[in-house]
């Protein structure tokens, strides 16, 4: 549906009760039909069946599901003033002591985000490049060692180690060096936390307040371990700030800025907010980027021609930069970026965003939503629409190259899907994510042939606040002369 059609219908009002709804169960409504790890796929299927705006009932709580890109874009732009994080999500995060910028609303969100944004500026990311380069070399060495034993690798684990090393260095100035260790450590605890957070935010009844299952006990234990780690780093940071007074005026990482703010009466962060934002940044940095790279490898393993084009582009760009990939050279890897954007279209790490209306709100098609109405915004479905993308189910990086975008008949490509959200709550780590993706994929295409595993496995989508591949394996075969550094 185009924006002009929607606006022409603005005067045709309808209420929540007039929206179509899948048939559900008495009392529980549609709750039993929604498996938390597959919720995005179920809602996308229903959207194609019922309408691009419909409602569901989760044990008495009404949610409106919206997939039309024009409406989704409009609602994303209204955050955080008119659209809040859901009360259920906020309550779960508060209960676990991790209520930070991810779950905060209003002035609390503004204050906390202000501390984070400077570290994602272009200047900060340029200064961070040497560490990104060094960590990519560690990943290369780790994968080379693994291929000496077996070419079939469950690579998502290695990618999570890579992104945790990157995130802890950027956020804390502290290198966990997980790529050089066989132990799980911090990564293991993060892998427990994210799926359980996703599950709890979809539960209509907080059963864990009365009895705890195995997964609830594992979550409690993981949170304790991460909190101990976080405050050990905080103590080290406070000691460093005392030894180096110049950092008070010019903090070098996000944690230094947050610690300074927590000690400032004018902009005080509580200990709970400090820990919550440490965990938020760890989870966001570890999960989203590793998922994107993993999904990209899933497609590349099936497309040696795309690998070849990426490799040729990397060779060409390196020849213009004295044989190296520099921070400036990353911007010139346009085909590689196109492959990443095509991956995000097909396998968005954020295929849906939840929230709720802060006040009564009228959608662009005239639907009136009362205050407190739950929302599920399907951010991927528009990118899979055959009316907007020719051969929409196929992996075609060329569609994102400048010439193709300029001559494409359909003008809606840039606003059909929203892998990094939108509006004021747009993901601040987008530029860093693309830097990491380009470094890792360039290294892999230069040094390995990537193919499907010898034993075929079915790779599934699994939703846990972000969307990750399940059962992903790739076969990495080192290329000749692979002893050279990436």
**Stretch (H or E) spanning 357:** strand 352-357
47-86: b or e for each residue (b if 16 or more CB lie within 10 Å)? beebebbbbbbbeebbbbbbbbbbbbbbbbebbbebbbbb
User: Based on the number of CB atoms within 10 Å of its own CB, is 291 exposed (0-12), middle (13-18) or buried (19 or more)?
Assistant: buried
Angle 45-202-209 (CA atoms, 0-180°, nearest 5)? 160
Distance CA 111, CA 121 (A): 17
8 A C-beta contact, residue 64 and residue 16: yes
Name the phi and psi angles at 399, rounded to 5: -65, -15
347-356: b or e for each residue (b if 16 or more CB lie within 10 Å)? bbbbbbbbbb
User: Based on the number of CB atoms within 10 Å of its own CB, is 437 exposed (0-12), middle (13-18) or buried (19 or more)?
Assistant: buried
Estimate the crossing angle of helix 271-300 against helix 156-172, to 10 degrees.
140
Q: What is the pLDDT along the chain (486 residues), one digit of tens a residue?
A: 334 334 444 457 889 999 999 999 998 999 989 888 899 999 999 999 998 999 999 988 899 999 999 999 999 999 888 898 887 888 888 888 877 777 777 777 887 787 777 767 787 788 889 989 999 999 999 999 999 999 999 999 999 999 989 988 888 887 788 888 776 677 788 888 878 887 888 787 889 999 999 999 999 999 999 888 888 888 888 899 899 988 888 887 878 887 887 766 666 677 777 888 888 888 777 788 999 999 999 999 999 999 999 999 999 999 999 999 999 999 999 999 999 999 999 999 999 999 999 999 999 889 999 999 999 999 999 999 998 898 999 999 999 987 666 665 444 466 888 888 888 888 888 888 999 999 999 999 999 999 999 888 899 999 988 899 999 999 999 997 654 555
Distance CA 183, CA 166 (A): 17
From residue 473, alpha-carbon distances to 156, 178, 271 in Å are 8, 20, 40
**Residue in 401, 298, 405, 386 with CA at minimum distance from that of residue 347:** 298
Tell me the domains of the chain and their CATH numbers: 1-97+351-420 (3.30.43.20)
Angle 69-75-81 (CA atoms, 0-180°, nearest 5)? 165
Helical residues (DSSP H) of 384-452, grouped into ranges = 402-407, 430-447
Estimate the crossing angle of helix 271-300 against helix 214-243, to 10 degrees.
110
């Amino acid at each position: 549906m185009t924006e002009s059609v929607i606006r022409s219908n603005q005067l045709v009002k309808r209420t929540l009760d007039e929206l179509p709804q899948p048939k559900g169960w008495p009392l529980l409504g549609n709750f039993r039909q929604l498996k938390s790890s597959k919720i995005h796929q179920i809602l996308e299927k229903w959207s194609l069946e019922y309408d691009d705006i419909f409602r569901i009932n989760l044990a008495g709580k009404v949610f409106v599901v919206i997939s039309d890109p024009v409406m989704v874009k409009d609602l994303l732009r209204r955050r955080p003033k008119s659209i809040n994080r859901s009360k259920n999500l906020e309550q779960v995060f508060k209960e676990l002591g991790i209520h930070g910028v991810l779950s905060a609303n209003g002035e609390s969100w503004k204050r906390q985000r202000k501390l984070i944004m400077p570290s994602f500026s272009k200047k900060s990311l340029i200064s961070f490049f040497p560490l990104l380069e060094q960590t990519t070399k560690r990943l290369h060495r780790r994968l080379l060692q693994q291929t000496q034993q077996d070419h079939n690798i469950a690579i998502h684990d290695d990618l999570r180690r890579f992104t945790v090393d990157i995130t802890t260095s950027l956020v804390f100035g502290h290198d966990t060096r997980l790529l050089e260790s066989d132990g799980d450590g911090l990564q293991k605890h993060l892998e427990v936390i994210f799926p359980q957070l996703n599950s709890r935010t979809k539960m209509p009844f907080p059963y864990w307040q009365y009895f705890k299952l195995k997964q609830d006990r594992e979550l409690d234990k993981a949170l304790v371990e991460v909190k101990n780690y976080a405050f050990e780093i905080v103590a080290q940071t406070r000691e460093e700030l005392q030894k180096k007074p110049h950092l008070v005026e010019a903090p070098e990482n996000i944690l230094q800025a947050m610690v300074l703010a927590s000690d400032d009466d004018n902009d005080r962060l509580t200990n709970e907010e400090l820990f919550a934002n440490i965990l938020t940044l760890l989870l966001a940095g570890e999960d989203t980027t590793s998922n994107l790279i993993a999904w990209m490898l899933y497609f590349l393993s099936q497309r040696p021609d795309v690998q070849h084009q990426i490799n040729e582009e990397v060779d060409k760009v390196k020849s213009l930069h004295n044989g190296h990939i520099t921070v400036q050279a990353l911007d010139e890897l346009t085909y590689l970026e196109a492959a990443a954007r095509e991956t995000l279209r097909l396998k968005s790490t954020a295929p849906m965003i939840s929230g709720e209306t802060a006040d009564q709100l009228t959608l662009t098609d005239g639907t009136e939503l009362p205050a407190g109405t739950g929302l599920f915004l399907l951010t991927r479905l528009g990118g899979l629409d055959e009316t907007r993308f020719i051969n929409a189910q196929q992996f075609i990086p060329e569609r994102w190259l400048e010439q193709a975008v300029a001559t494409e008949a359909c003008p809606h490509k840039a606003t059909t899907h929203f892998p990094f959200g939108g509006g004021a709550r747009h993901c601040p780590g987008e530029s860093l994510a693309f830097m990491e993706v380009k470094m890792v994929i360039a290294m892999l295409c230069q040094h390995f042939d990537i193919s499907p595993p010898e034993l075929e496995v079915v790779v599934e989508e699994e939703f846990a606040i972000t969307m990750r591949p399940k059962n992903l394996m790739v076969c990495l075969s080192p290329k000749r002369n692979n002893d050279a550094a990436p």
